């Protein structure tokens, strides 16, 4: 995700030695990642879910929004493998389409705060002084926000929608990334290779993109992976409360919304069990992948 941040025009003049190191480094990371069995399983599960989400229009047995009042709340049958909901829509098809929404909320929201966090953290770390002071005080403030309460307040004001959920998570999630990136900048600023680069007349931009940011990507990737799991859980919670993705668009969270009624909960488990299980599998897979990244990318944690 943050690869796009490092791939700038400044990279055109790459030293051949540096270019040769990269594939070998990647190979080491991959071989370490592969040893983490759960992370590997998580990665496979996640890719499968992603493929199902992308291919939903081809795979779904029915249209996710086709209302059929003749077969509403029908228990699973051979036509409707996971039954139908209160409007007679096919639960399995909705589940597949919901994967698109829920996974993309995770990706977009986290990408948004990685960009904001990297930019602000980079500015704070590189320039220091009052820029640093202001950015970090704002970060402290955002971190002390009573997050869920603030999020439901903002979402209700902006109007509940998928865009607003992504936006709110994105705008409130950046402080940890900013802190990480700032920390990297502060330590790297004084390192020999950065000083050497500056001595050879490299500009700020080149130093930032060529030397400092690539070093900050490791903690950012790990943090962003766990953040994606968090974002999916948050979207599910908001949609469950009716403050997130709005029907008829299906998201895993709003498919669970109906289970707030005791009748649905008790007599129609096919309506709420599948989306709940889908969330658990997706989030668990992402957390395992994040754990794998942490082990593979951080040599210190690798014993």
Partner 1 sequence: MGRFLLRRLLVSIPVLLGITVAMYIIVNLAPGDPVTALMNPEQMANMGPDWVEQQRESLGLNDPLPVRYAKWLKETATGNLGYSFVDRLPVNEKIGERIWPTVKLMLTVLVIAVVVGIPLGIISALKQYSFIDYLLTILGFLTVSIPSFFLALMLIYVFSLKLDWLPTSGMYTVGQARSFTDSLTHMILPATVLGLAQAAPIIRYTRASLLETIKQDYVTVARAKGLAEAGVIVHALRNALIPIITIIALNIPQLLGGTVIIEQVFSWPGMGNLAIASVQGRDYNVLMGINLIAAIMILTSNLLADAIYALVDPRIKYA
Q: Which residue ranges make up the site for partner 1 (CB under 8 A)? A: 38, 137-138, 140-141, 144-150, 152-154, 156-157, 229, 233, 236-237, 240-241, 243, 253, 256, 259-260, 262, 265-266, 269, 272, 276, 279-280, 283-284, 287-288, 291
Which of 137/203 has CB closer to partner 1?
A: 137
- Give least dist CB 257 to partner 1, A: 10
Which of 68/153 has CB closer to partner 1?
A: 153
Which of 60/152 has CB closer to partner 1?
A: 152
Which of 34/137 has CB closer to partner 1?
A: 137
Chain centroid to Cα 6, Å, comes to 19
Task: Compute the distance between CA of residue 119 and CA of residue 121 in angstroms, rounded to an integer.
Answer: 6
Which of 6/239 has CB closer to partner 1?
A: 239
Quick one: which of 182, 199, 180, 211 has its CA closest to 8? 211
- Give least dist CB 16 to partner 1, A: 42
CB 235 within 8 A of CB 248: no
- Give least dist CB 296 to partner 1, A: 17
Give the CA radius of gyration of the chain. 23
- Give least dist CB 154 to partner 1, A: 6
- Give least dist CB 27 to partner 1, A: 27
């Amino acid at each position: 995700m943050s690869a796009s941040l490092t791939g700038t025009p400044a990279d055109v003049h790459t030293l051949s030695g540096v270019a040769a190191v990269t594939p070998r480094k990647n190979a080491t990371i991959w071989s370490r990642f592969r040893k983490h069995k759960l992370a590997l399983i998580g990665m496979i599960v996640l890719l499968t879910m992603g493929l199902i989400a992308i291919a939903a229009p081809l795979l779904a047995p029915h249209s996710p929004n086709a209302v059929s009042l003749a077969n509403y709340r029908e228990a699973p049958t051979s036509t409707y493998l996971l039954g139908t909901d209160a409007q007679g829509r096919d639960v399995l098809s909705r589940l597949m389409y919901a994967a698109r929404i829920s996974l993309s909320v995770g990706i977009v929201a986290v990408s948004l705060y990685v960009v904001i966090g990297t930019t602000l953290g980079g500015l704070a770390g590189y320039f220091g002084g009052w820029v640093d002071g202001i950015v970090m005080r704002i970060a402290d403030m955002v971190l002390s926000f009573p997050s869920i309460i603030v999020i439901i307040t903002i979402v209700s004001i902006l109007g509940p929608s998928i865009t607003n959920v992504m936006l709110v998570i994105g705008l409130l999630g950046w402080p940890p990334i900013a802190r990480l990136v700032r920390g990297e900048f502060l330590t790297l600023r004084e390192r020999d290779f950065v000083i050497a680069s500056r001595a050879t007349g490299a500009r700020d931009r080149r130093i930032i993109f060529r030397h400092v940011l690539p070093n900050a990507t490791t903690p950012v990737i790990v943090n962003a992976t766990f953040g994606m799991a968090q974002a999916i859980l948050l979207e599910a919670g908001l949609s469950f409360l009716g403050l997130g993705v709005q029907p008829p668009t299906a998201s895993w969270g709003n498919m669970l919304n109906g289970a707030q009624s005791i009748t649905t909960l008790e007599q129609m488990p096919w309506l709420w069990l599948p989306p709940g299980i889908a969330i658990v599998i997706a989030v668990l897979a992402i957390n395992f992948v994040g754990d794998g990244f942490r082990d593979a990318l951080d040599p210190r944690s690798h014993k």
